Each structure stands twice: as C-alpha cells, then as structure tokens.
C-alpha cells in the first residue's frame, strides 16, 4: 500500500477536501508559524493544532527546520506557479502588456490566497514578511530558493515593457512593490486602527485597486 500522492493544494483549514496527516500537519504549522514566528512556534502546539501526536511530526518531517521549509515550499510553489503562468500568458496575448497588468499578476494570487484562507487571512503573508526581512543566512537561503526565481522573471518583464527603466531601478522597483504588498497582505489590523475602521482589507478587488495604481506610478517615477 503506497501513499496516494495527490498534491492538492489550497489546504486551508476549512476542510471540504480530505487531507493526509502529512498535509494536515503542514496546514497546522502554517497557522502556528504565522502566529508565533518560526522560533516562537512549538512542535507541541503544531501537533495539538493538527490533532496528531508530536512524534508523528518528526516521523514525517524529521526536524523543525525541515517542517518549516516543506511548508514554505508547498505554499510558495502553488502561488508562484500561478504568477509565472499569468506572466507567460500576458506576453503571449499582447506584444506589450501594460505595466498595470503585470503588477496585478504579481499580487492577485497572493491576495486571493490570503483572503480565501478561512479564519486566518494573511497567515502565510506574515510568514513571508518575517522570513524575507530577516538578514539571517538560513532565511535568506530560503528566500533565494523559493522566491528569487520568480523575482527575476518579474524584473525581466519590467525592463522589457519599460525600456527606460534601468536594471538597478527595476530591482529597486520590485523590492518596493514587494514591500507595499507586504503591508497590504499581512493584515495586522493597523490600517483599520489608524483609519478608525475606514480601511477595509477584506476585499481583493478593493485592495488591488489601491495597490496597483500606487506601485505603477512609483515605478514610472523611476524611469529616466
């Protein structure tokens, strides 16, 4: 009897689809890592959240570091596949896609995935923030492995459709765009607090209608 390896992603806690214990642990770790950070999260809490014995996590993932990386790999793989696919489509369908369409292709998958996470919107985005913004060697290796490839694709797309954007400014533009997206997706509650409830981050289209024009105007300001 083998495992039926069906990489059904999505994997939110609102379970219609049946999950293997392996996948249940991954989903549980996502919530706990997001809430407490890598170091603050404990294997005990993850096991409790997943409804399994603590020893089972070590059977499947060996160590805490490996569990974290497996969780990042599953989620980032799904989102970055969508991004790469959207980007390819854009250049197949148009000679010169608009900057707006490219920026939207960058953010829509993450925002939609974040919002569709039942109960814990922004969980994975918060993990990304703390990982990508760490200067630690391990964290930067993870970022390089799972996020630099798609970053290079977008930077190349930017210089292609905006010829007056120098390569270093394109890199800055990408970094800035990611930074803007982080504040939008992390859902810390600060925007709502500062605006006394005026700012709502629960609707993907509203969010994109703020973030896309902001970033596109910023990028164009960096062209020579």
Partner DNA sequence: GTCTATAGTTCGATAGAC
Partner DNA sequence: GTCTATCGAACTATAGAC
Site membership for its own copies, residue 143 (CB under 8 A): yes
**Applying CB under 8 A, which of residues 62, 94, 145, 167 lies at the interface with its own copies?**
167
Q: How far apart are CA 157 and CA 130, in angstroms?
A: 27
**Applying CB under 8 A, which of residues 73, 151, 161, 204 lies at the interface with its own copies?**
151
Residues 176-205 contacting its own copies, CB under 8 A: 176, 178-184, 186-191, 193-195, 198-199
Site membership for DNA, residue 41 (CB under 7 A): yes
Q: Which stretch binds its own copies (CB under 8 A): 29-37, 45-53, 54-62, 65-73?
A: 29-37
Helix, coil or strand: residue 119: coil
Q: How far apart are CA 164 and CA 126, in angstroms?
A: 34
Question: Where do the H-state alpha helices sit in the chain?
Answer: 21-40, 43-50, 54-61, 64-93, 99-116, 123-132, 137-146, 148-161, 167-185, 190-194, 204-221
Helix, coil or strand: residue 63: coil
Residues 53-112 contacting DNA, CB under 7 A: 53-56, 58-60, 62-65
Residues of this chain that interact with DNA (CB under 7 A) are: 3, 21-22, 41-45, 51-56, 58-60, 62-65
């Amino acid at each position: 009897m083998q495992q039926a390896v069906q990489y059904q992603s999505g994997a939110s806690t609102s379970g219609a689809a049946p999950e293997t214990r392996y996948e249940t642990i991954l989903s549980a770790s996502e919530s706990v890592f997001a809430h407490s950070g890598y170091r603050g999260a404990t294997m005990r809490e993850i096991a409790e959240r997943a409804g399994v014995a603590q020893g089972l996590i070590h059977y499947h993932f060996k160590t805490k570091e490996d569990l974290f990386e497996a969780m990042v790999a599953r989620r980032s793989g799904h989102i970055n596949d969508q991004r790469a696919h959207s980007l390819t489509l854009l250049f197949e369908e148009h000679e010169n896609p608009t900057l707006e369409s490219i920026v939207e292709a960058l953010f829509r998958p993450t925002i939609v995935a974040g919002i569709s996470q039942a109960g814990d919107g922004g969980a994975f985005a918060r993990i990304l923030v703390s990982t990508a913004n760490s200067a630690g060697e391990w964290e930067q290796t993870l970022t390089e492995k799972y996020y630099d490839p798609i970053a290079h694709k977008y930077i190349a797309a930017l210089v292609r459709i905006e010829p007056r954007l120098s390569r270093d400014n394109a890199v800055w533009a990408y970094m800035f765009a990611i930074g803007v997206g982080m504040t939008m997706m992390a859902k810390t509650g600060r925007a709502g607090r500062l605006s006394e409830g005026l700012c709502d981050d629960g609707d993907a289209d509203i969010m994109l209608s703020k973030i896309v024009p902001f970033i596109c105007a910023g990028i164009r300001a960096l062209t020579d």
